Structure 1
Amino acid sequence: MSNTVFCKKFQKDMEALDRAPLPGAKGQEILQTVSKQAWQEWQLLQTMMINEKQLNLMQPESRKYVMEQMEKFLNNEATDKLTGYVSPDDITEL
């Protein structure tokens, strides 16, 4: 059976990550408090944010922004809205 963790995003015991997703103390904290599902959902949102906001992760302010949004997402706080994203459910056939 796989390891479980009490996920701070979903507030229940869920499947844990296999390894820390980031280096250092922050990675260890995520490993101990975030489920695999929550991390996968964050990765999808992160990718959309990087693309929609055209972030350059070589710039410190872009990395700081992504980390702030990650904290908000994982703590069930509101993240910035993506203005260019259209959900497939919102697309109607012509």
Structure 2
Amino acid sequence: MVATVFCRKYQQELPGLDFPPLPGANGQRIHETVSKQAWEEWQALQTRLINEKHLNLLDPETRKYLMEQLERFLNNESTDVAEGYVPPSE
């Protein structure tokens, strides 16, 4: 049985993550307050940002930038977007 969490992005009870996605306190906080749906959406955005902006994950500034974008995403604030990205039509 999957545990539910009160998702800070969607402001409702949703299925949570199976385990903390990051090490340490940040990972535990995300595990307790972010739904699986929100995390999967973040991972898709993060992948687009890394690929389109040619980010180097070994660079501490890149990791800081991605954490800032993650917080903005989870707080429903505007985030950077990959230039030229067009969401698929539904």
Off by >4 Å, runs of 4+ in structure 1: none
RMSD: 0.9
Give the secondary-structure state (helix, strand or coil) at the position aligned to 2:2.
Answer: coil
Q: Alignment identity in percent? A: 64
Q: Which residue of 2 aligns with 1:92?
A: none
Find out whether 1:34 has 2:34 as its counterpart. yes
- Structure 1 length as normaliser, TM-score? 0.90
Give the secondary-structure state (helix, strand or coil) at the position aligned to 1:30.
Answer: helix
Q: Deviations over 1:13-39 (max 9, x none)?
A: 000100000000000000000000000
Q: Which residue of 2 aligns with 1:43?
A: 43
Q: Deviations over 1:66-89 (max 9, x none)?
A: 110001001111101221312333
Q: Which has the larger radius of gyration?
A: 1
Where do 5+ consecutive residues of structure 1 fail to align? 90-94
Where do 5+ consecutive residues of structure 2 fail to align? none
- Structure 2 length as normaliser, TM-score? 0.94
